Amino acid sequence: AQRVTQPEKLLSVFKGAPVELKCNYSYSGSPELFWYVQYSRQRLQLLLRHISRESIKGFTADLNKGETSFHLKKPFAQEEDSAMYYCALSGQAAGNKLTFGGGTRVLVKP
């Protein structure tokens, strides 16, 4: 069965500091990995997908199949990055449903 683990419930960093959100997964096959973000009083929205290998709002994430990880990183955190972040996976073996981690709350202090 597929599983997504986000070990940190809360990450508190100062503005301008690097931030890394950890995500580990278990899945049989080739997963599709995503990061979703939920800002205060807004809907859950897609931040980035591993297959597009893109950088969104300064965030990047690299899929490491050996370590089964998909950590999200940003070199210089901004106050507007304060939000709830969810790692999620999908794939054919999972019926293309999204399996989410428990989420990490990021608080960027001025």
Partner 1 sequence: ETGVTQSPTHLIKTRGQQVTLRCSSQSGHNTVSWYQQALGQGPQFIFQYYREEENGRGNFPPRFSGLQFPNYSSELNVNALELDDSALYLCAISLIQNYGYTFGSGTRLTVV
User: Is 82 a binder of partner 1 (CB under 8 A)?
Assistant: no
Phi, psi at 94, each rounded to 5°: -100, 15
- How buried is residue 43: exposed, middle or buried, by Cβ count under 10 Å (0-12/13-18/19+)? exposed
Instruction: Report the distance separating Cα 68 and Cα 62, nearest Å.
Output: 10
User: Is 99 a binder of partner 1 (CB under 8 A)?
Assistant: yes
User: Is 96 a binder of partner 1 (CB under 8 A)?
Assistant: yes
Q: What track of x and - describes contact with partner 1 for positions 39 through 68 (by CB under 8 A)?
A: ----xxxx--x-x-----------------
Q: Where does this chain bind partner 1 (CB under 8 A)?
A: 4, 6, 32, 34, 36, 43-46, 49, 51, 86, 88, 90-91, 95-103
